[in-house]
Amino acid sequence: MKGTTHSAAPAVVAEFLGKIMPFKELAPEIIDQVARKVKVDFFPKGTRLLEAGKSEIKYLHLIQKGGVKCFIVDDEGAVTLKDYRGEGDCIGALGIIRGTLANLDVEMVEDTFCFLLPRAVFLELISSQPGFSQYYLKSFSEKIVATAYSELRHHRVGRSNDSSLHLFSIQVGDIIRQAPRTIAADASIRQAAAKMAEFRVASLLIHEPDDEEQIIGIVTDRDLRNKVLAPGLDSNEPIRAVMSAPVATVLSQATCFDALLRMMSGSTHHLAVEQKDKIIGVITSHDIALLQGHAPYSLFKEIGKQQRIDGLYPLSRKIPEMIRNLIKEGARAGHIARMIAILNDQILERLLTLLEEELGPPPVAYCWLLMGSEGRREQTFRTDQDNAILYEDPADAQQAAACEAYFAALARLAIEHLVQCGYPLCPGEIMATNPKWRQPLSAWKQCFSDWAALPEPEEVLNASIFFDFRAGFGKAILADELRQHLNGLTKKSELYLFHLARQCLSAKAPLSFFKNFIVDKDGEHKNKLDIKVQGLTPFVNFARILALRHGIRETNTLARLQVLGKEKILSEELLAAATDAYEMQMQLRLVHQLNQLEVNTPPDNHIAPADLSELDRRMLRDAFEVIDRLHAVLKTFFPAL
Amino acid sequence: MSLLSYLRELLEQRQPHPLLVENRRRFAQFDQNKPLTDYSFVVLDTELTGLSYKDEIISIGAVKISNMQLELGNVFHTLVRPLNLKHNQATFIHQITPDQLRAARPIRDVLPEFVEFCGDALLIGHFLEIDMGYLNRATKKVLGGTLANPTIDTLRLVKAYKETSYVCDYGYCDQSLPCNLNEIAEEFKLPRFKAHSALEDALQCAYLFLFLAKKLNNGQVQTLRQLHNVGQPLLLRQN
């Protein structure tokens, strides 16, 4: 009968499977075979589908429409909510794979239709399809993150037509053109120059005289010009005298974009490429520029060369456009944030340098501090100014008055120009124009001490903005000293950290659930999720508290997490999960804001889960799960919470 | 109708096809008191050339429910070549072309397979009377009798569901009732299927049935008889 009528399973299930992980990676004929084994069942809202420790799992349930909650009831009857799952999610995979009874209680929170895949069919897929079991066992594997990024690029931004993905796909090791040319450190400058001419290279690596593997420095054309010819140095001097040391290195598996960031942040043109502790070559900014990396790098250089302040305005307004292209080309969020920070810093550096020329040198050395997301190097398209000035303690009252006048003028002008450059004013007036945030070092130290001693709510709020400060321009050592002072304070003050942690745990917005997400109940952002407040801020707060507690100097959230991992405060597994979750959300937020800019809407942080792909939603939900785990870690440090 | 075919029909009517004999035997004793999960159901839909008595079936779609689960690997879907292709005015609606119909098998060949597919299942449809009318006319002609399978009309279940559970805030029941399967699916927020394909409509109707059977009477419907009773007036019909 089937042969003559309709032999394929209805399209509905094949279409469904073709959209969800990991089924979508199956060959179409396998999907069709699987689809024929599938049944549909309906469960009214309130149905208890599985009972932990009791229910045998006969089918993998794939939610076609509706939603369920997964929870655990402990011996005393207390319910812990573990997860919400919605369309495209599955129930029971782990139990089937491990051959156990249900490990969670599952109840329908909406009227729910499920596709039922018989246990045996699912197990067959697990054993026959490469990557299938991996998917279920490793819910946040690298592979999925990678797939997700490609999906984000593909579906949500589209491909930019004019560019290749070279900068992000090619590894540094792949663009090395020749083995490194080296010379012993005791060779003469003349010998080195001769060798460079012979091999037609613009740089030589310098090794220890008795060990060719031991690279200790680098000499470039520019060094010969600036350090030998210009000052008239004797070319019989050893090359060691003019080399740059140590050599900036980059791992061979890093992407060219990584290398570009390194070059821009360290203002070096040459990077030695390292593979298994061995230098295998040298790459230059020219090599990178050849890979279509012109845009960011030339903008960076153009800013640095600008001689007039108003010449900076149009350059800084080019940054969002450039970032947009980088996202389209597939840069990851962590990279993008660093790139934005580097370019903004470059604008700031040029602006303040030109202003100093205008106003004359400052009476004492100072440091322009960046706070908040700028301080953490986590800006996106539109970043309010959060800045302050920290200067050396004046010697006497007269100098103090001079400082006050000078820095007031500097701050006023700098902030006006920054507004012209497209950085909006801080609504909370956390800017160097505010006399409270323009102080000598001793006053700043006192200020931080006061906050740490009196954890009133406002002080706790200040902390979140101020404690992420970093040096933006000027004498960075002043910022270092302030950081040391702060770390001394907070490491001791468990009470203060306790208040910070409590604030971190209590920050919960009015909630309702939509497509299993916590969203605003009503108002302008009804059914939307504030990805900054609900998604990213918990990670930022967590990283800050533990950074303060353990005296970590980093301000960037990902960097703080790295250090926490290295110091074994976070498990490797949780570190990886937190990093992925954080970066994934930054990416979603960037893409969201990019899409808003494309239609001339001011960028915000309100994302509608309904608009996300199934994969985005599942990753976002996994990311939220990580928050609970981070909070659990906080509670182990602050048991009284 | 030629005299010859009239005589043949008479002959067939006197001696029903063995399939029909089996079909009647199956439902001679029918117990309504078993739980719903013990029955099997075939949810069906037909596409017709039109709605007059001259019109014919041009497509049958059907899906099977057993243990109250819809089996997606067990479906019936076929086009049927009508005797009179000219009658097919509805090409625009169901998107079946005359060429497709010319290539299809006649109802004479399709029906035995369909009766076998239905087996001992109860038949479910939306506004089923229409489909059953055309089906039984064809079975009479081809197999010499009508189908004995009891039937359930989802339209009646929808009415029952609305009367019992759709009491609004003011305490009065919303009687305005969309009859169209797709409007109902929309209202109950069911997963959606393409309209005007016999198989997709049968699937849509099957989803509706699963939904109603488990939602009626606050999910307290256990046996077929209980389903019958909530769905007054008459739901169950024995031919």
Instruction: Tell whether A347 and A431 lie within a shared domain.
Output: yes
Instruction: Tell whether A121 and A184 lie within a shared domain.
Output: no
Instruction: Tell whether A175 and A233 lie within a shared domain.
Output: yes
For position A240, what pLDDT does the model report?
A: 92
CATH number at residue A133: 2.60.120.10
Q: Is A101 on the interface with B (CB under 8 A)?
A: no
Instruction: Tell whether A334 and A425 lie within a shared domain.
Output: yes
Instruction: Tell whether A174 and A261 lie within a shared domain.
Output: yes
Instruction: Tell whether A154 and A196 lie within a shared domain.
Output: no
User: What topology does CATH give the domain B3-230?
Assistant: Nucleotidyltransferase; domain 5 (3.30.420)
For position A150, what pLDDT does the model report?
A: 46
Model confidence at B12, pLDDT cuts 50, 70, 90, reads low
Q: Is the pLDDT of residue A6 over 60?
A: no
Give ipTM to 2 decimals. Answer: 0.86
Instruction: Tell whether A465 and A502 lie within a shared domain.
Output: no
In a domain, A318, yes or no: no
Averaged pLDDT for residues A490-499? 79
Quick check: A39 and B70 CB within 8 A? yes
In a domain, A300, yes or no: no
Model confidence at A159, pLDDT cuts 50, 70, 90, reads very low
Instruction: Tell whether A454 and A521 lie within a shared domain.
Output: no
pLDDT in tens, A127-154: 888 777 667 765 433 433 444 444 444 4
Quick check: A40 and B69 CB within 8 A? yes
Q: Residue-wise over A166-187: b if at least 16 C-beta within 10 A, else e? A: bbbebbbbebbeeebbbbbbeb
Sequence-distant (≥ 6) Cβ neighbours of residue A566 within 8 angstroms: none
Instruction: Tell whether A613 and A542 lie within a shared domain.
Output: yes
In a domain, A545, yes or no: yes
For B72, the closest of A38, A65, A111 (CB atoms) is A38
In a domain, A316, yes or no: no
Model confidence at B67, pLDDT cuts 50, 70, 90, reads very high
Q: Is the pLDDT of residue B217 over 60?
A: yes
Helices (H), B61-218: 91-94, 98-103, 107-118, 128-143, 154-165, 181-187, 198-215
Instruction: Tell whether A476 and A533 lie within a shared domain.
Output: no
Domain limit, last residue, from A431, A454, A483? A483
Q: What is the 3-state secondary structure (H, E, C) of A163-176?
A: CCCHHHHCEHHHHC
Over chain A, what is the mean pLDDT?
82
Minimum Cα–Cα distance from B111: chain A residue? A1
In a domain, A2, yes or no: no
For A116, the closest of B69, B190, B215 (CB atoms) is B69
Domain limit, last residue, from A446, A464, A483? A483
Which structural domain range is residue A270 located in? 170-295
* Tally of domains within chain A: 4
pLDDT in tens, A456-493: 767 776 777 788 999 999 999 999 999 999 888 887 77
Neighboring chain A residues of B219 at a CB cutoff of 8 Å = 44
Model confidence at A520, pLDDT cuts 50, 70, 90, reads low
Q: Is the pLDDT of residue A414 over 50?
A: yes
Provide the token pair at B193.
Answer: 């299927």
- Residue A188 is classified by DSSP as B
Q: Is A38 on the interface with B (CB under 8 A)?
A: yes
CATH number at residue A357: 3.30.460.10
CATH number at residue A181: 3.10.580.10
AA letter at B239: N
Instruction: Tell whether A16 and A63 lie within a shared domain.
Output: yes
For B116, the closest of A1, A39, A65 (CB atoms) is A1
Neighboring chain B residues of A35 at a CB cutoff of 8 Å = 72-73
Q: Is the pLDDT of residue A515 over 70?
A: no
Instruction: Tell whether A284 and A358 lie within a shared domain.
Output: no
pTM here is 0.51
Of A108-117, A381-390, B126-135, the poorest mean pLDDT is in A381-390
Quick check: B77 and A40 CB within 8 A? no
Model confidence at B176, pLDDT cuts 50, 70, 90, reads low
Averaged pLDDT for residues B76-98? 77
Q: What is the DSSP string of A219-265?
A: EEHHHIIIIIITTT--TTSBGGGT-BSSPPEEETTSBHHHHHHHHHH
For position A514, what pLDDT does the model report?
A: 46
Model confidence at B93, pLDDT cuts 50, 70, 90, reads low
Quick check: B72 and A43 CB within 8 A? no
Q: Is the pLDDT of residue A92 over 70?
A: yes
Interface of A with B in 102-121 (CB under 8 A): 111, 113, 115-116
- Residue A423 is classified by DSSP as -
Averaged pLDDT for residues A540-555? 90
pLDDT in tens, B101-129: 888 999 999 999 999 999 999 999 999 99
Q: Is A12 on the interface with B (CB under 8 A)?
A: yes
Nearest one of A606, A532, A597 to A317, comparing CA atoms: A597
Minimum Cα–Cα distance from B61: chain A residue? A6
